[in-house]
Amino acid sequence: MSNINKKKGIIGILTGGGDVPGLNPAIRAVTIRANREGYDVIGIRRGWAGLIELVRDKKYDNSNNYIHLSEELVNRVGRTGGTFLHSSRTRASHVPKTRVPEHLKNTYNNDINDLTPEVIKNLEFLNIDYLIPIGGDDTLSYGVHLHKQGMKVIAIPKTMDNDVPGTDYCLGFSTCVTRTIMMTHALRTSAGSHERFLVIEVFGRYAGFTALLPTMAGAANRCVIPEYEFDIDRLAELLVNDRHTNPSNYSVVLVSEGAKFKGEMVFSDHEADMFGHKKLGGIGDLVSARLKDASAKFNKGKKIEVINQRLGYLVRCGDPDAIDSIVPMAYGNLALDLILENHSGRLVVLKNGRYDNEPLEIITSFKKTVDIDKYYSTDRLRPHYKSFESKPLFIMASD
């Protein structure tokens, strides 16, 4: 039985990168279990930003940088989407001069600054014994960096792209897939009514899981993913054939935001974040325009009109589905299991249907992308349908 009378230490928790359904349930799980096991919990606000902007002065109002978490507080938000701790895409080891906090500008005035020494001092100021970052490979790669500096880190994987190495599942993926399927089916009514192509742009910067799995589930006829540079004429030919065999005379393609043809990657904003990523978006618009033109080659000279929809934040917002309510609960408790066993430098994971943990360094050891030889037909521009025996819940494992 847990001992709540003896304080064992302080756990810090933060969320970084894009919001997904499942973050608040994870925060809730960590806090409730930690409190009952005798730990205090501090929520760091706005990801790594809260740890570079904190002022080490007991009299200073740091309420914008961290908050003490309680069971009462997290119970109110634990069933909701997003992150009540807020988020950012801050990379504390690569802070531009313009983003250095005011109280540190005399010390850090290079074009790019490593504020890791300040992060470590701020963690010590807060008396944090263990840090639990929840994020994708960018957020967690800095967690790896802190671990190598001696900080006790337990990481929880989160990203709708499902591309954190070492785990079959990242928080937010199930809700994303669920909503993609639901919204694609809803849009079919318009595509069928007007006998058009339906082009839907979905998330997926470097990995095509969010396009591939809904297509495998029957949401679309074809999908184009970042792992394979596709030919627009081939896509048009396939979609025209799909349309002709459909009694309602329409066809559907899911387009990953990071998909490329002829070596092109489309950016909606050329300003990069601290991790060097430009904001993607707009490939669906380009594919739609070129599909319309190319369709005439395979449709007796007549162009086919296109309905073009970018799902974007519609699959990010709102409440988590069942899996993104259950897995965060388990991940949070897995993190506490490790802390109670005095382990750190670990990533909690789901592998082959079982909860486990991996060395934290696995996050930076390789890029997790779709294995196109196993799961994608480059000729048919759709998933492979092979043996499903012994496959994990979402088919594609973190090989």
Is residue 29 a contact partner of residue 18, using CB atoms and an 8 Å limit? Answer: no
Q: Spell out the residues 6+ positions from residue 58 whose beta carbon is closer than 8 angstroms to its own.
A: none
Q: Which of 19, 40, 138, 161 is catalytic?
A: 161
> Which tokens belong to 35?
């409190």
Neighbours of 364 (CB within 10 A): 14
Interatomic CA distance for residues 230 and 258, integer angstroms: 12
Q: Phi/psi of residue 278, each to 5°?
A: -80, 150
Neighbouring C-alpha atoms within 13 Å toward the C-beta of 20 = 30
- The alpha carbon of 369 is separated from its chain's Cα centroid by a whole number of angstroms, namely 13
Q: Phi/psi of residue 98, each to 5°?
A: -70, -15
Q: Is 57 a catalytic residue?
A: no
Q: Containing H/E element for 241?
A: helix 232-245
Q: Spell out the residues 6+ positions from residue 395 whose beta carbon is closer than 8 angstroms to its own.
A: 213, 216, 375, 388
Catalytic residues, by residue number, are 161
